[in-house]
Each structure stands twice: as structure tokens, then as C-alpha cells.
Amino acid sequence: MDKTRLKIRFAFVSKGKYDVVKVIDYDYIGLLHGRKTFNLGFGDYDLFTEKIDDHANTHNGDVYDVLNTVLNTIPLFFEEYPKYCLMVRGSDSGQTFVEACRENCKKKCDSHCKNQNRRINVYTRYVNANYDNLVNDYTFYGGNEDNAEVFEPGKKYDAVFVVRKNLTL
């Protein structure tokens, strides 16, 4: 873990068909809903450009190991920043993603991009499946940067906000 001012970075290697360096960044993004908030960013790390590709689909055969590694860093984040909010959203949620996807898409989507929101759907499925256990330690909200509501399992959200239990947005 590399902790710099209002940023935490974790790196690990995805072992599968290839060895791929993955990076998890917690970046302070400012006040959202009146609370100091970090964004969870994640992607493949390019050793040559030193950039993170948060749109990469590695297909390395270890998706559950990678997801568990990412999720296991969340309690570590809250150890460092217990009063902050964590925002999780997919890099594939915005309109710019849809426009870029259409340029190279092999799925030939009609009006709705089938690749859009896959990442946030993975995170919300995890929260939904483990909600009863997770709410012992965390409070969840769903929404976007402009609006948030108490998280309702099964409901679709653009982003999920997480705070330690007994703290509210």
C-alpha cells in the first residue's frame, strides 16, 4: 500500500493466462453530499506509460480472485479514513464510454449499449448478495454524484456510496 496525501494505492498481479499488474486507487474527489469522498478506481497498470487502463477487460480467468482482492482493500481504506465516504462506480457508466464503445463494438448494439454499466452491476450484485452481512459494518447509499438515497437491494444505481456504520450522508 502506498499512501500519499488523500490517496491510497494498492497494486497486485493477476495470475492467469498472463501476468497482469492491477492497481486499485482511492482518490479524494472532494465533497459529495456534504461529506469528504473518495472514488475507488481500478484497472490494469501499464508499466511503460505508468497509466491505469480502467476500461481493460483482461479475460485472465481469475475474475473472482481479482474482485475479492479489490473488495478486501475496502476495510483497509476505512482504517485510514474512517469518517470519509467511498464512491464506487463503473468506468463504463458514462456517455463517453458508450460513444467510444460504439466505435469498436463487436456486439452491434442498437439504441442501448450492452457493455454499459457492467462494472457497477458487478459491484451492486456483490452488495445485494452480501447485504445482510455488510450492513453490520457499513451503510450503503445508491444514486449518482447529484442524488443519493438509502441503498435498496435489487435497485439499479449509477454509483454506490459506502460509509462506516453509524455515519450517514
For the stretch 131-167, pLDDT in tens is 999 999 999 999 877 888 999 999 988 899 999 987 6
How far apart, in whole angstroms, are the C-alpha atoms of residue 135 and residue 20?
33
Does some domain include residue 72? yes
Question: With contact defined as beta carbons under 8 Å apart, do 16 and 34 qualify?
Answer: no
Domain count of the fold of the chain:
1
Q: Averaged over 89-110, what is the pLDDT?
A: 74
Q: Averaged over 102-116, what is the pLDDT?
A: 75
Q: What are phi and psi of 6, to 5 degrees?
A: 55, 40
Does some domain include residue 134? yes
Residue 116 CB partners (closer than 8 Å, separation 6+): 92, 93, 97, 98, 101
Place of cell 449509477: 158
Does some domain include residue 147? yes
Beta strand 85-89 with 35-46 is parallel
DSSP state of 143: E
How far apart, in whole angstroms, are the C-alpha atoms of residue 155 and residue 72?
24
How far apart, in whole angstroms, are the C-alpha atoms of residue 56 and residue 68?
18
Q: Which domain holds residue 38?
A: 2-91+120-164
DSSP 61-99: S-HHHHHHHHHHTHHHHHHH-TTSEEEEE-TT-SHHHHH
Residue type at 91 in one-letter notation:
S
pLDDT of residue 75: 95
Does some domain include residue 103? no
Higher pLDDT, 6 or 20: 20
pTM: predicted TM-score of the whole model, two decimal places: 0.84
pLDDT of residue 168: 63
Q: Averaged over 50-73, what is the pLDDT?
A: 88
Does some domain include residue 56? yes
pLDDT of residue 4: 54
Does some domain include residue 111? no
Does some domain include residue 97? no
What is the average pLDDT score of the chain? 87
